[in-house]
Chain A
Amino acid sequence: MSEQQTAILDGNESCARVAYRLSQVITIYPITPSSNMGEWADEWQTAGHKNIWGTVPLVSELQSEGGAAGAMHGALQAGAFATTFTASQGLLLMIPNMFKIAGELTSNVIHVSARAVATHALSIFGDHSDIMACRSTGYVMLSSGSVQEAADLALVAHIATLESRVPFLHFFDGFRTSHEVNKALTISDETINAMLDEKHVLAHRQRALSSDNPVLRGSAQNPDVFFQARETANPFYMACPTIVQDVMDRFTAQTGRAYHLFDYMGAPDADRVLVLMGSGAGAAEELIEHLNAQGEKIGLLKVRLYRPFASEAFLAALPKTVKSIAVLDRCKEPTGLGEPLYQDVVTAFSEAFSSGTSPIATQPRIIGGRYGLSSKDFTPAMVKGVFDELKKEHLKNRFTIGINDDVTHSSLDYDPEFSTEDPKTVRALFYGLGADGTVGANKNSIKIIGAETPNYAQGYFVYDSRKSGSVTTSHLRFGPNPIRSTYLISKANFVACHQFSFLERMDLLSAAAPGAVFLLNSPYGPDEIWNHLPLTTQETILKKKLQFYVIDGYTVARDTGMGNRLNTIMQTCFFAISGVLPADEAIEQIKKSIKKTYGKRGDAVVQQNFAAVDAAVANLHKVKVPEKATATFDLLPMLPREAPDFVYNVLGTMAAGKGDSLPVSALPIDGTFPTGTAKWEKRNIAQMIPVWDKDLCIQCGKCVLVCPHAVIRAKVYDSALLAGAPETFKSAKPKWKGMEQEAYTLQVAPEDCTGCRLCVEVCPVKSKSEAKHKAINMEMQAPLRAPEAKNWSFFESIPWTDRNRLSHTQVKDIQLLDPLFEFSGACSGCGETPYIKLLTQLFGDRIYIANATGCSSIYGGNLPTTPYTKNASGRGPTWSNSLFEDNAEFGFGMRLALDQQKGYAEDLLKRLAPTVGDELVTALLTASQAKESEIEAQRARVLALRSKLAGVDSVEARALLTVADSLVRKSVWVLGGDGWAYDIGFGGLDHVLGSGKNVKVLVLDTETYSNTGGQMSKSTPRGAVAKFAEGGKRNSKKDIAMEAVAYGSVYVARIAMGSSDMQTVKAFQEAEAYDGPALILAYSHCIAHGYDLTYGMEQQKSAVLSGYWPLMRYNPSLRAEGKNPFQLDSRAPSISLKDYAYHEARYTMLTRSRPEVAKLLLQEAQDDVERTWRVYSGRAAMPGRAESPHIAPPEKEGAVAPLGAEGGDK
């Protein structure tokens, strides 16, 4: 047995470390939660790490998981050892290739961090629905349940696939295992070598296609032989279980860790047994040991090799005494006789009894149930609930556990208070604000405790659904015994709240165990804090006798140069009072780890962190807790009671972090939710908010336009309304001709602002007496919160300015249009959302949005509350997300339906003309709807039509009522990021643009897969660093604007709001007006670019000035006027690419890691700019048709000029 090292890592890394070393080709594509495995592979490849054969694997990103599977298939056929990592929808895209790879009996492993497949909703969290969708592909399925197993069984899979010739799908639970940090033993090269039999390696290579020994593989077969040929694979599958067990046994000999096809644990004479696979086994084992120690006879059968299902081994592994069995599946098959694992178990028993081979004398009672969908926490208490059920006389089959199904009553009861936590394990809960460093610090603590002490350590991190101001909860366990508690902590010995504001609404201490330590980051010292705590919090502290400590972490952070990062400070406090390590030793270890973590970022950062450690200890205080609760206020509800019932009761419960308690009946049956819910959730996440200087303001509307969260709004209104205004409500004289007698107000939503400062940066006005004072300035939120909230509420009561009085092409006027996209959870300072907000201001009352999966679908549609909303008439964007890859087609389908319904309505209208009246029918059929006022008029006609049809008793009249609204112009807007448009969805996008249909496409181009953490797309510019392009992207960005221009019939625009807001508005208006497909490419600054987004608009300007992002519009309508449709809206480059690019870490990182490469790529990228400029300016300079002679004569007298005859258009 070779010596084994321990490491602190998560399941993804644990698995990837093995997969990388056993692969020559790794094809990747980002998808949560498996992306990190690809990222590791890319990093190791760039660092030159070698595989077991001594070469560096080739790691290559494809355009989709379908592409990754195809490339892997090719690599396998050409003789390489190839692998990939994926999950969920990504795995589903691999299925066609999986059938092929298996059908060709090819050795291959796909590693999957199993994740829910989107149904009524998308979910990034873990369950087995993706795995189960692959059952018929012929892939062998091997299940890991822990960080350790993710490495061990990855190796078993790689070895067994070679020996069995059948491909393996090795999976573990997304997030619960893929993202759990735990102490595990690593697998050495020696172990791998000892397991790897050269003869199988050679055999794999010899089976490869070779032109030196040519064969044909992948023929087409007819009914005569296909069937028989398919059956040739049988012996290989029959041999597989034995081979897997043999590999497992050899693995045990090497490492001492034993695995079997089915691993039984529990009482040898158990009467009740649970069968499951994956991480849930950890919770089940804990419960079983706990209850057996009290005299119960229960057991667990862990499924390792799920498919092929080895019935004999399964039955042999069960205790002969078993009387009843519950099979738990982490998935749902609505049409089955039960979920897949249950069905396999039932079949195994049925076959054994019918053939008389059952080793168990009496057929046990078997029930199946579902648990843990989408990473729903699965606890020992729930396991107990299942075992309790198995005791009953009448068993509930097809049950659920862990939820309250009050509709079909499938759920089993359990006592959520029941706990089996090891008393020797320290359990700590930390509540932090995203990006305050809490999670990073906790990962660090785990490493310190796990690596520097004999203790075991586990960390699991829960994030909320927002990208800005999100709450992170860290669940940490430490102790002398291995930790397999695969569930969240509900009784903590240590609770830390790193943000004082959380106490306002969250009952954080409900999870504190009696006598626990409570650490609070508080602006109030030990003597004043008590009076600032809500009543519930005070009562809990007293009732549970908590030891209470405070530190003013933010002051310490500011004083030590740490800014807003609390990580080191709060980590030091944790060690100082938790007693996990002696204080001095802990501080030494913290400093050591600071050096390790931050050393490479420079000495200054290390020194600041050191200072923070010392200052933390000095500023930590124990609070002398008074004897009774004295608070005069209590926890606030998450959403206000004024919200509609569904919002308050259902979404409010979710927002409060108590969504687990919602019963089935509370939730929509088909995934449909009301819009306009984000406004109810006042998140108060900004420390500073903008304040309007009404005297200085020129009312240009730029701040309103750029605000990513729609928290700055303006109205011009009847000044008489000011009579009821709150005291501090501000107004000014409108600077519009003809509106001078009214009032103008620019109002900030103080509780929704994220404090990004884009508005202040974009404000063009400076005070004449103090240059830093602008017409809008940042001030502390706290003192403004109450008065401004009142002002905001009053402002909302003021009606919006009449849209017909405004020019919809002027930024100044657009500020007065109602945004129908507000308060999204996007990153503070997001570069995408201003475009979406603008879209809704312009056309929001008539748009259908098809949204590709990605950032825009997450901030656009992630519960609990969502940002799309309605106007005063109840109209607004209607929104849906299909998939990542098919969004253009999804929108195209909407267009087809709308066109079809309009045609149907028009037809019905004609048929019903006698009833409706010719005049109205003609008006409805012929009305122009180019302008908004005309659309309004048509709506009025439809209203008239409805009233005429109301009493008519005919099939046609009733039918027309259902489709009458389609007579009013509707727009379909397809939204998505560059990952969709340039990569995975490009084929569909191209097709839809080429279809000529009236579909508008808005690409929010961040030049990277922002939502999954910044992986390279084909939009990523040359020279930028991204994940999967760690060494800097070598190729230039794809120019899909010019690809679309090539059609000649697509409206195309490249826009950048920070450079020209006017051109941006023009592009939206022209795209909407154009009767055909339109493509707008919107430069969107992004957190993944690596700079302070406060300067996002400034960077957009630089991007255009450098010529990197030329502004252009291609309007095919101009052709009819004889003009060149190609218009260039920006000037020749006036600054170097470097002067733009080197403000962003995505570029400068490369100068730090590979300066020579960076230099070369910068030169090449500068060449790209110049090349693009020559093409664009040349194209713009071409004469239009009317200005140039025909290139070819018309085919016959009177014919129009042939296509292409017009200048600048081919």
Chain B
Amino acid sequence: MIDLTTEYLGLKLKSPILVSSSPLTDSPENIQRLQEAGAAAVVLPSIFEEQLTLESNALDSDLSRGTESFAESLSYFPAYESYRQGHDAYLSHILRAKAVAGIPVLASLNGATAGGWVKFAKEIEQAGADALELNTYSLPTDPRVTSDQLEEGIIELVRQVKASTKIPIAVKLSPQYTSIPNLAARLDKIGANALVLFNRFYQPDFDIENLNVTPTLTLSRPEELLLRLHWTAILYGDLSAEIAVTGGVHSAEDVLKAIMAGGQVAMLASALLANGIPYLATIQSDLLRWMEEHEYQSIRQMRGSLSRRSVPDASPFERGNYIKTLSSYTLRKPA
């Protein structure tokens, strides 16, 4: 019997395959279907603090617009005794997800201020999430803010959330830091239970016909996995925090690579968005078949087997890799 069980964030999981934060986990019905298809755990869509602020401001201006200025129409909407805000909906989503899922439910939070992180993290904990993924996705646009300040900001936010909650905390990082190992080590030191590699950036596209900049959302491609594998393999073994691989996981092979690089778990969403939820079961059966064919007993057995520490030649993970790749391209070019 092949053993797929995995531990992640102190949770016992039936396999290393998780569904990452995405629209897929937005409804309890889908969560149930994901569970049936074999998901070991789900990460709920991210709640964005800025979005809550925007929402609060928008609600305020929508309700205030044009009011108290004309004698016949002092307001335009009935006054409700309460309004369900985004975070109310999110918290009740956690409750409903927990109610239908027999698997762990991880919440995801994208904060902008220390106060916001701590407040929402506490609420998420109270709502019963099994763990919390802190999404540090943010774009520095202010030239006065140094990289040091940015990193220190993340460290401080995580420290505060750790101090005020008891549930395990995973930190989802972007790949765009000067020294990922240094940041990882600092996060590890302050008690992050796992690092999730990596965020995907949704860069806006240009509409040159209408001279607009439009937000785009594309599904991940398998090539994107390589960046994750690279950094997982480098970090594996240096941290007490676990590593989760997300972004570009599209097949059982990708799951295997993620684990072999040192990932505790692999997360996927785009593959399911493209192929449907039942595809998860296919990945799982492919995984089992591969392990059977290659006579692996357990997931644990292969974890980190291709990490930087475990391979005979670590140079592909280091600078040489770059030079070699470049030169190989050059050589292939026709004269």
Chain A positions within 8 Å of B, measured between CB atoms, are 32-33, 35, 39, 42-43, 46-47, 124, 175, 179, 433-435, 437-440, 461, 463, 466-467, 470, 472, 561, 563, 565, 598, 600-605, 608, 766, 771, 827, 858, 1010-1014, 1025-1027, 1030, 1087-1088, 1090-1092, 1145-1146, 1149, 1151-1153, 1155
Give every chain B residue within 8 A of A32 (Cβ-Cβ).
Answer: 71-72
Instruction: Tell me whether B211 and A766 are in contact (CB under 8 A).
Output: yes
Task: Return B41 CB to nearest CB of chain A, in Å.
Answer: 26
Give every chain B residue within 8 A of A1152 (Cβ-Cβ).
Answer: 59, 80, 83-85
Task: Return B62 CB to nearest CB of chain A, in Å.
Answer: 4
- Cβ of B56 under 8 Å from chain A: yes
Instruction: Tell me whether B74 and A1013 are in contact (CB under 8 A).
Output: yes
Instruction: Tell me whether A124 and B59 are in contact (CB under 8 A).
Output: no
Instruction: Tell me whether A1010 and B73 are in contact (CB under 8 A).
Output: yes
Instruction: Tell me whether B72 and A601 are in contact (CB under 8 A).
Output: no
* Closest B residue by C-beta to A827: B66
With A42-B78, A602-B52, A1087-B66 as given contacts, are A175 and B71 in contact (CB-CB < 8 Å)?
Answer: yes
Q: CA of A1030 to CA of B60 in the docked complex: distance in angstroms?
A: 18
Chain B contact residues, majority secondary structure: loop
Give every chain B residue within 8 A of A608 (Cβ-Cβ).
Answer: 57
- Cβ of B75 under 8 Å from chain A: yes
Instruction: Tell me whether B69 and A39 are in contact (CB under 8 A).
Output: no
Chain B 46-85, CB-CB to A under 8 Å as 1, else 0, gives: 0000001101110111111111111111111111111111
* Closest B residue by C-beta to A125: B71
Chain B 20-62, CB-CB to A under 8 Å as 1, else 0, gives: 0000000000000000000000000000000011011101111
Give every chain A residue within 8 A of B84 (Cβ-Cβ).
Answer: 1151-1153, 1155
14 contacts between A and B (CB under 8 A): A43-B78, A434-B68, A440-B64, A602-B53, A602-B85, A603-B56, A858-B72, A1013-B76, A1014-B73, A1014-B76, A1027-B78, A1090-B62, A1145-B77, A1152-B59
Q: CA of A467 to CA of B67 in the docked complex: distance in angstroms?
A: 10
Instruction: Tell me whether B78 and A600 are in contact (CB under 8 A).
Output: no
- Cβ of B328 under 8 Å from chain A: no
- Cβ of B99 under 8 Å from chain A: no
* Closest B residue by C-beta to A439: B68
Instruction: Tell me whether B67 and A435 are in contact (CB under 8 A).
Output: yes
Instruction: Tell me whether B83 and A1090 are in contact (CB under 8 A).
Output: no
Instruction: Tell me whether B68 and A1013 are in contact (CB under 8 A).
Output: no
What is the count of residue pairs linking A and B with beta-carbon distances less than 8 angstroms? 148
- Cβ of B89 under 8 Å from chain A: yes
Chain A contact residues, majority secondary structure: mixed
Q: CA of A275 to CA of B62 in the docked complex: distance in angstroms?
A: 47
Give every chain A residue within 8 A of B70 (Cβ-Cβ).
Answer: 434, 463, 466-467, 470
Q: CA of A1091 to CA of B67 in the docked complex: distance in angstroms?
A: 13
Task: Return A11 CB to nearest CB of chain B, in Å.
Answer: 14
Task: Return B104 CB to nearest CB of chain A, in Å.
Answer: 25
Q: CA of A1087 to CA of B72 in the docked complex: distance in angstroms?
A: 14
Give every chain A residue within 8 A of B62 (Cβ-Cβ).
Answer: 1090-1091, 1145, 1149
* Closest A residue by C-beta to B71: A463
Task: Return B332 CB to nearest CB of chain A, in Å.
Answer: 40
Give every chain B residue within 8 A of A1146 (Cβ-Cβ).
Answer: 77
Give every chain B residue within 8 A of A46 (Cβ-Cβ).
Answer: 78
With A1145-B63, A1152-B83 as given contacts, are A124 and B78 in contact (CB-CB < 8 Å)?
Answer: no
Give every chain A residue within 8 A of B73 (Cβ-Cβ).
Answer: 467, 1010-1014, 1088
- Cβ of B212 under 8 Å from chain A: yes
* Closest B residue by C-beta to A828: B66
Instruction: Tell me whether B211 and A771 are in contact (CB under 8 A).
Output: yes
Give every chain B residue within 8 A of A437 (Cβ-Cβ).
Answer: 64, 68
Chain B 75-119, CB-CB to A under 8 Å as 1, else 0, gives: 111111111110001000000000000000000000000000001
Task: Return A496 CB to nearest CB of chain B, in Å.
Answer: 15
Q: CA of A1155 to CA of B80 in the docked complex: distance in angstroms?
A: 14
- B72 in complex: contacting residue of A438, A771, A1011, CB < 8 Å: A1011
- A435 in complex: contacting residue of B59, B65, B211, B212, CB < 8 Å: B65
Which 4 pairs across A and B sit closest by C-beta, in order of nearness? A434-B69, A602-B56, A1013-B73, A1145-B62
* Closest A residue by C-beta to B78: A1030
Instruction: Tell me whether A1088 and B68 are in contact (CB under 8 A).
Output: no
Give every chain B residue within 8 A of A1155 (Cβ-Cβ).
Answer: 84, 89
Q: CA of A600 to CA of B74 in the docked complex: distance in angstroms?
A: 20
* Closest A residue by C-beta to B206: A771
* Inter-chain pairs besides A563-B61, A1030-B80, A1087-B66, 9 sampled, C-beta below 8 Å: A32-B71, A439-B68, A608-B57, A1012-B72, A1013-B75, A1087-B76, A1146-B77, A1149-B62, A1152-B85
Task: Return A575 CB to nearest CB of chain B, in Å.
Answer: 19
- A124 in complex: contacting residue of B53, B66, B68, B71, CB < 8 Å: B71
With A124-B72, A1014-B77, A1090-B76 as given contacts, are A600 and B67 in contact (CB-CB < 8 Å)?
Answer: no
Q: CA of A1090 to CA of B83 in the docked complex: distance in angstroms?
A: 15
Instruction: Tell me whether A470 and B69 are in contact (CB under 8 A).
Output: yes
Q: CA of A1091 to CA of B76 in the docked complex: distance in angstroms?
A: 11
Task: Return A960 CB to nearest CB of chain B, in Å.
Answer: 45
Give every chain B residue within 8 A of A600 (Cβ-Cβ).
Answer: 80-83
Give every chain A residue within 8 A of B68 (Cβ-Cβ).
Answer: 434-435, 437-440, 461, 472
Q: CA of A493 to CA of B57 in the docked complex: distance in angstroms?
A: 35
* Closest A residue by C-beta to B212: A771
Task: Return B206 CB to nearest CB of chain A, in Å.
Answer: 9
* Closest A residue by C-beta to B88: A1152
* Closest B residue by C-beta to A175: B71
Task: Return B215 CB to nearest CB of chain A, in Å.
Answer: 14
Instruction: Tell me whether B211 and A601 are in contact (CB under 8 A).
Output: no
Q: CA of A1011 to CA of B84 in the docked complex: distance in angstroms?
A: 28
Residue among B63, B66, B69, B74 with the highest chain A CB neighbour number at 10 A: B69
Give every chain A residue within 8 A of B78 (Cβ-Cβ).
Answer: 39, 42-43, 46, 1025-1027, 1030
Give every chain A residue within 8 A of B76 (Cβ-Cβ).
Answer: 1010, 1013-1014, 1027, 1087-1088, 1090
* Closest A residue by C-beta to B65: A1087
Task: Return B126 CB to nearest CB of chain A, in Å.
Answer: 16
Give every chain A residue within 8 A of B59 (Cβ-Cβ).
Answer: 601-602, 605, 1145, 1152
Q: CA of A433 to CA of B77 in the docked complex: distance in angstroms?
A: 20
- A1153 in complex: contacting residue of B55, B74, B80, CB < 8 Å: B80
- A604 in complex: contacting residue of B57, B69, B81, B213, CB < 8 Å: B57
Instruction: Tell me whether B89 and A601 are in contact (CB under 8 A).
Output: no
With A467-B66, A1155-B89 as given contacts, are A1025 and B77 in contact (CB-CB < 8 Å)?
Answer: yes
Instruction: Tell me whether B74 and A604 are in contact (CB under 8 A).
Output: no
* Closest B residue by C-beta to A764: B210
Task: Return A1097 CB to nearest CB of chain B, in Å.
Answer: 15
Give every chain B residue within 8 A of A1151 (Cβ-Cβ).
Answer: 84
Q: CA of A1152 to CA of B78 in the docked complex: distance in angstroms?
A: 13
Give every chain B residue within 8 A of A827 (Cβ-Cβ).
Answer: 66
Instruction: Tell me whether B66 and A605 are in contact (CB under 8 A).
Output: no
Q: CA of A454 to CA of B83 in the docked complex: distance in angstroms?
A: 32
Q: CA of A595 to CA of B76 in the docked complex: distance in angstroms?
A: 22
Give every chain A residue within 8 A of B77 (Cβ-Cβ).
Answer: 1014, 1025-1027, 1088, 1090, 1145-1146, 1149
* Closest A residue by C-beta to B50: A604
Q: CA of A1152 to CA of B72 in the docked complex: distance in angstroms?
A: 27
Give every chain A residue within 8 A of B89 (Cβ-Cβ).
Answer: 1155
Task: Return B98 CB to nearest CB of chain A, in Å.
Answer: 18
Q: CA of A766 to CA of B77 in the docked complex: distance in angstroms?
A: 37
Task: Return B60 CB to nearest CB of chain A, in Å.
Answer: 4
Give every chain A residue within 8 A of B79 (Cβ-Cβ).
Answer: 43
Instruction: Tell me whether B72 and A604 are in contact (CB under 8 A).
Output: no
* Closest B residue by C-beta to A463: B71
Q: CA of A766 to CA of B211 in the docked complex: distance in angstroms?
A: 7
- B64 in complex: contacting residue of A435, A766, A1012, A1149, CB < 8 Å: A435
Instruction: Tell me whether A1149 and B56 are in contact (CB under 8 A).
Output: no
Instruction: Tell me whether B60 and A601 are in contact (CB under 8 A).
Output: yes
Residue among A35, A766, A1027 with the highest chain B CB neighbour number at 10 A: A1027
Task: Return B29 CB to nearest CB of chain A, in Å.
Answer: 13
Give every chain B residue within 8 A of A438 (Cβ-Cβ).
Answer: 68
Give every chain B residue within 8 A of A858 (Cβ-Cβ).
Answer: 72
Give every chain A residue within 8 A of B82 (Cβ-Cβ).
Answer: 600, 1153
